[in-house]
Amino acid sequence: MADVHDDDGKTDSARLILSLRSQGVTDPKVLNALQETPRDLFVPELFQERAWEDSALPIACGQTISQPYIVGLMTQALQLEGWHRVLEIGTGSGYQTAVLSKLVRYVYTIERYRTLLSEAEARLKQLDVQNVISRFGDGIDGWPEQAPFDRIIVTAGATRIPPALIAQLKPNGRMVIPVGPNNATQQLMLVTKDSSGRVRRRNVMPVSFIPLREGGARPLD
């Protein structure tokens, strides 16, 4: 693993965690999950030296692995409990999936590139992660057979919140999703459903994600 000690004795991962904490990711369980997830495993060979930098990096199929700060912030906003079943749309490298898997009972994750999905599955297997159920397909429709979910996280930018995802959120559920026009900055939105099923939306912060393909997005190799 590329977690090496620098001149001042801090490891790359410890340095990253300190930086995330200073930026407002303060939940100790979330910080712990981030520290224990070897990001270098999820980053392509070419970018190994930057694996513990706080930046998004390119992965296969023209997609990106999310910035650790954003992964931390979204994970924290979900207010996860150990018994939760979480739906993730956009597996990508599987990095966010691995972080979630340390915090909840089950993670259901959907990806529309077969290549990315099988690479992510191999990484999760290598880490001996056993509570992730993954599927190839279009996440816009959610995962009706496994619904409802305690929490939902969308890691691609949507032009609007897919109605199926709202429907598949349990009462007292929370969803985080970047929403905005394609090829522009999105707003990270927190969607909450109260015990009587009433839905509220709140803006959290501006973010920049790869677009969520909508309207019959074809699953791809």
Residues with catalytic annotation? 66
Handedness of CA 32, 187, 106, 81 (dihedral sign): positive
**Cβ proximity of 100 and 152 under 8 Å:** no
Residue 142 CA to residue 103 CA, distance in Å, equals 21
Contact pattern for ligand SAH over residues 62 through 101, marking x by CB under 6 A: -xxxx----------------------xx-xx-xx-----
- Give 48 or 172: the residue with its C-beta nearer to ligand SAH: 48
**Of the residues 12, 119, 121, 138, which one makes contact with ligand SAH according to CB under 6 A:** 138
- Count of alpha carbons within 13 angstroms of residue 29, beta-carbon side: 13
The CB-of-184 to ligand SAH minimum distance in angstroms stands at: 16
**CA distance from start to end of the chain:** 29
Confirm or reject binding of residue 115 to ligand SAH (CB under 6 A): no
**Cβ proximity of 76 and 100 under 8 Å:** no
The CB-of-134 to ligand SAH minimum distance in angstroms stands at: 11
Residue 80 CA to residue 85 CA, distance in Å, equals 9
- Give 13 or 93: the residue with its C-beta nearer to ligand SAH: 93
Confirm or reject binding of residue 212 to ligand SAH (CB under 6 A): yes
Residues near ligand SAH (CB under 6 A): 63-66, 89-90, 92-93, 95-96, 110-113, 116, 138-140, 155-156, 210, 212-213, 217
